[in-house]
Amino acid sequence: MNAVKIAYKPVGMALGIASGALAGLAFKQVWKTLGHDDEAPHATDEERGWHEILLAAALQGAVFAVVKAVVDRAGADATRRLTGTWPG
């Protein structure tokens, strides 16, 4: 493993934490924009039906995956621009 890959590990972890927080905010905004309550339902929420629970889960998963991919790719691209080496 080269030095860039080793040095990128803590950067990658920090980006992961940041992408999780950003994805959470993005999902809440998307959920509100779609005209739902301020909070997405939890799977054990007795007041919500299957349709709403599964819609929220699918949407949340998609938002988290897209945000993570964007942040990971941008971090790797920035690393290559700074060091000339792809970290992955």
pLDDT for 1 equals 60
Range of the structural domain that residue 14 is part of: 7-83
Please indicate, yes or no, if residue 51 is contained in any of the structural domains: yes
DSSP string, 54-69: HHHHHHHHHHHHHHHH
Average pLDDT of the residues in 61-80: 94
pLDDT tens track for 22-60: 999 999 999 999 877 888 999 999 999 999 999 999 999
Q: Cα(65)–Cα(58) distance, rounded to whole angstroms?
A: 11
Q: Number of structural domains, the chain?
A: 1
The residue type found at 9 is K
Global pTM value: 0.83
pLDDT tens track for 59-68: 999 999 999 9
Please indicate, yes or no, if residue 88 is contained in any of the structural domains: no
What is the signed CA dihedral for 20, 9, 82, 65, rounded to 10 degrees?
A: -30
Q: How confident is the model at residue 69 (pLDDT cuts 50, 70, 90)?
A: very high
Helical (H) or strand (E) element with 32: helix 3-33
Please indicate, yes or no, if residue 59 is contained in any of the structural domains: yes
Please indicate, yes or no, if residue 17 is contained in any of the structural domains: yes
Please indicate, yes or no, if residue 2 is contained in any of the structural domains: no
